[in-house]
Structure 1
């Protein structure tokens, strides 16, 4: 199945954006989740975990700080990959003035559904442009 970024909605949060390209709920038979995450300059997402899935992060561009397993904090940059074990607490923070672009996967898929309960979530329909506004 072919998925174009213009054919999926954009989730926006105070800290950035997510487009989920493959999810078990959107693609019949999909067992994992894959999406692109943009963390805005000087922003990040709160410490959290995925009790039922491991996460892999691949840095497309930008630089930031990644915390894994409550204590292991390190710099991430373009080309880096981070494995987050199932249940491990983690957070990501963009330390620069440029967007931090990531590819994220969950195995097994489905953990992305938890983001639907985030109080700062806005869903933008497929094909529309979600603007970033400095808070």
Structure 2
């Protein structure tokens, strides 16, 4: 197997109403990979609503920002940079950015592949080609 360094600019960016995801390693794009590894950015006051991954476990690592994490339909708890969240296969969970700045997380799916394809089926999904930079619009008031 050829070892490779992955240029983040060579990967497309998934965009949603709540933020963006860039997958650096995926079974579909990285020869020999069985997991998926990428960065998630949650916009301020936005989040990834309650969902589950029927075929994969997930690990989240908070790089920056503050938020609330819900696991297994229990009360949400605060998360901060350096926190690690393990989500077993099939468990319902949600992540919400409670801060004023973007919340950045590393996400890992094991096994990878199916969960990213499911994200691409969400109604607010748009893919930006490699090298493109997402743009955001500002809203006023409570929206």
Where on the TM-score scale, by shorter chain, does this alignment land: which range?
over 0.9
**Which is richer in strand?**
1
Q: Distance in 2 between matches of 1:119 and 1:133?
A: 19
Counterpart secondary structure, 1:104? strand
**CA positional deviation for 1:134:** 3.4
- Structure 1, residues 41-94: CA drift from partner, whole Å, max 9, x if none? 000111100011100000000000000111142101000000000000000000
Deviations 1:83-119 (A, max 9, x none): 0000000000000101100000001111211011011
Show structure 1 runs of 5+ residues with no match: none
Distance 2:75 2:45 in 1: 20
CA distance in 2, matches of 1:62, 1:56: 17
Q: Is the contact made by 1:57 and 1:81 (CA closer than 8 Å) also made in structure 2?
A: yes
Q: Distance in 1 between matches of 2:50 and 2:138?
A: 22
* Number of aligned residues: 135
* Match for residue 98 of structure 1 among 94, 98, 101: 101
Return the alpha-carbon distance in structure 2 between the equivalents of residues 55 and 13 of structure 1. Answer: 19
User: TM-score if structure 2 supplies the norm length?
Assistant: 0.91
User: Any unmatched runs of 5+ in structure 2?
Assistant: none
Query: Under a length normalisation based on structure 1, what TM-score does the superposition of the two structures give?
Result: 0.97
Q: Distance in 1 between matches of 2:74 and 2:99?
A: 21
SS of residue paired to 1:6:
helix
Please report the RMSD computed on the Cα atoms of aligned residues, expressed in angstroms: 0.9
